[in-house]
Amino acid sequence: MLYDKARIFVQGGSGGNGSMSFRREARVPRGGPDGGDGGRGGDVVLLCDDSLRDLQYFKRKAHYKAGRARHGQGALRTGADGEDLVVRVPPGTQVELPDGTVHDLVIPGRRVVVAGGGAGGRGNKRFTTATRQTPRFAEQGLEGQEYWIDLQLKLLADVGLVGLPNAGKSSLISVITRAAPKIADYPFTTLEPVLGVLDNDERQLIIADIPGLIEGASDGAGLGHDFLAHVERTRVLVHVLDLAPMDGSDPAENHAVIEHELAAHDQRLARLPRILALSKADLVPAESAREAAAQWRERLGRDVPVVITSSATREGLVELAKTLFEHIPIEAPHDPQELADEAQLAEHQVFRPAAGRSWEIEQLEDGAFRVSGEPIERLFARFDIENEEALAHIERRLKRMGVMQALEAAGFQPGDDVEIAGTIFELDPS
């Protein structure tokens, strides 16, 4: 069974706390603060690994947490960073983060951080000033990012076989490749995509047998969305059309149904090169098959090759294989040096998204206000509010951020309650 979807919980490591420490040496009565910084928490990283083929591993394990950092220590010793957790995924995996960012892991070796580790706290040495030479507080480390993310695998195939159920796709791929899909004389025999390899003396092509689509597949009918996702990356589509449908339907109408569903799902699919394979030619007179091929060539034009095929008699299969190799150009593999340069660059330059800077003030009732926003909550998470020096430092930061001035403009008076990060305070604007 092909596992092409998974939902996992990722959590970055917590940052280490900064140290509150003072030098203690003989004959050094006032050594001063020497608390070191905490380390940064580890990241959860997805790594594109060419040795994997689907997402079945994630059915057994769904939670992934990176290592937490060490706390800072005295003598200006910085805590060790948390260890990154590398999670391997197969090529073709697509992941969407809660903020809407989409990462497409196609090239083996490509890495992407899906849950960043928390920043480490600063030691008390960092808070010394000309007027505050013995700070008795330090920053606490922040928690890492954590959330559920969805992984989706979209097969990396050169050729996609599409068509209505029981059009002959499974028989076709089983004959021209070594794939062994389930084959029967009823619709929906294939319930998951099947891959096969077509090779000649020079190169190979990967062919995907996409399970039969039906009318309304682009709206989710049947397993439409699951199946259509796997043709998004193909370079050529082979539309397998039954010359003698079991239900007596019109092949032209069947062709239109599939083409409409492909275009409705993604306009890029409508622009992909096509090859029309008229299947089951052994069930109709040879003259009728030739006439049908001529009609389709006239209808579709020169850009769409039309091949008469029969999996039972192997008619047209050599011609179909030749046509596939002709219509899929040889693309140069990704330059290894380019990947090496990327890896070297990433080792020396790490870009992280900036933290949010917006906050807002809400008046709850007379004499009660609420201040909310990511920078405010992050500030309070950094310090121990039971420490008087730390609380005084927080108030000074709030003044520099303009929060106190905004509170006064909103009608704040000394003695009023202010709720920040779930805690009630009595702040003094002066």
All structural domains of the chain with their residue ranges: 1-153, 159-327, 360-426
Q: Is the pLDDT of residue 51 over 80?
A: yes
Mean pLDDT, the chain, rounded, equals 82
The confidence score (pLDDT) of residue 426 equals 73
Instruction: Tell me whether domains 159-327 and 360-426 share a fold.
Output: no
Q: What mean pLDDT is predicted for residues 332-339?
A: 45
Residue 115 has pLDDT above 80, yes or no: yes
What integer pLDDT is reported at residue 244 of this predicted model?
Answer: 83
Question: Which residue matches tokens 């922040």?
Answer: 142
Q: Cβ(44)–Cβ(112) under 8 Å?
A: no
Q: CA separation (Å) from 40 to 16, 43, 103, 106, 346?
A: 6, 9, 24, 29, 17
Of residues 27 and 99, the one with the higher pLDDT is 99
- Residue 2 confidence class, pLDDT cut points 50, 70, 90: low
pLDDT surpassing 80 at residue 30: no
| pLDDT value for 391 | 87
C-alpha span between 42 and 82 (Å, rounded)? 4
**Residue 383 clears pLDDT 80, i.e. is over it:** yes
- Residue in 322, 324, 299, 320 with CA at minimum distance from that of residue 310: 320
Topology (CATH level 3) of domain 1-153: Spo0b-associated Gtp-binding Protein; Chain: A, (2.70.210)
pLDDT of residue 190: 45
Residue 114 CA to residue 214 CA, distance in Å, equals 36
CB atoms within 10 A of CB 257: 18
pLDDT mean over 292-306: 93
Could you tell me which residue, 47 or 427, shows the higher pLDDT?
A: 47
Instruction: Find the range with the poorest average confidence among 169-173, 302-306, 318-322.
Output: 169-173
pLDDT band at 206 (very low <50, low <70, confident <90, very high): confident
CA dihedral 153, 158, 163, 167 (to 10 degrees): -110
Higher pLDDT: 265 or 227? It is 265
Residue 235 CB contacts under 8 Å (≥ 6 apart), including other chains: 158, 159, 272, 273, 328
Lowest mean pLDDT among 34-48, 93-107, 366-380, 414-428: 414-428
pTM over 0.75: no
> Given a cut of 60, is residue 66 above it in pLDDT?
yes
**Lookup: tokens for 32:** 């001063």
In whole angstroms, what is the distance from residue 96 CA to residue 245 CA?
A: 41
Q: Lowest-confidence range among 85-94, 189-198, 291-300?
A: 189-198
Mean pLDDT of 337-358: 52
**Segment of 203-207, 327-331, 390-394 carrying the highest mean pLDDT:** 390-394
Per-residue pLDDT at 186: 38
Tens of pLDDT, residues 228-268:
666 777 889 999 999 988 777 888 998 998 888 888 877 77
pLDDT score recorded for residue 180 = 52
pLDDT, position 339:
47
Query: What CATH class does 360-426 carry?
Result: alpha beta
Range from 288-297, 326-335, 389-398 carrying the lowest mean pLDDT? 326-335
Confidence category of residue 424, pLDDT binned at 50, 70, 90: confident
What confidence category does residue 216 fall into, taking pLDDT thresholds of 50, 70 and 90?
very low
- Are 220 and 238 contacting, i.e. CB atoms less than 8 angstroms apart? no
pLDDT digits (tens, 9 = 90+) for 143-165: 999 999 999 887 777 888 888 88
How confident is the model at residue 327, as a pLDDT? 87
| pLDDT of res. 113 | 94
Give the pLDDT mean for 100-112: 89
Sorting pLDDT into bands at 50, 70 and 90, what band is 171? Answer: confident
Q: How confident is the model at residue 352 (pLDDT cuts 50, 70, 90)?
A: low
What is the per-residue pLDDT for 182? 44
Average pLDDT, integer, range 273-300: 93
Output the 3-class SS for the chain.
CCCCEEEEEEECCCCCCCCCCECCECCECCCCECCCCCCCCCCEEEEECCCCCCCHHHHCCCEEECCCCCCCECCCECCCCCCCEEEEECCCEEEECCCCCEEEECCCCCEEEEECCCCCCCCHHHHCCCCCCCCCCCCCCCCCCEEEEEEEECCCCCEEEECCCCCCHHHHHHHHCCCCCCCCCCCCCCCCCEEEEEECCCCEEEEEECCCCCCCHHHCCCCHHHHHHHHCCCCEEEEEEECCCCCCCCHHHHHHHHHHHHHHHCHHHHHCCEEEEEECHHHCCHHHHHHHHHHHHHHHCCCCCEEECECCCCECHHHHHHHHHHHCCCCCCCCHHHHHHHHHHHHHCCCCCCCCCCCEEEEEECCEEEEECHHHHHHHHHCCCCCHHHHHHHHHHHHHHCHHHHHHHCCCCCCCEEEECCEEEECCCC
pLDDT band at 337 (very low <50, low <70, confident <90, very high): very low
Average pLDDT over residues 67-80: 95
Q: Which residue has the higher pLDDT, 398 or 82?
A: 82
Whether pLDDT at 220 is above 50: no
Is residue 405 very low, low, confident or very high in pLDDT (cuts 50, 70, 90)? confident
Tell whether domain 159-327 is in CATH 3.30.413.10.
no
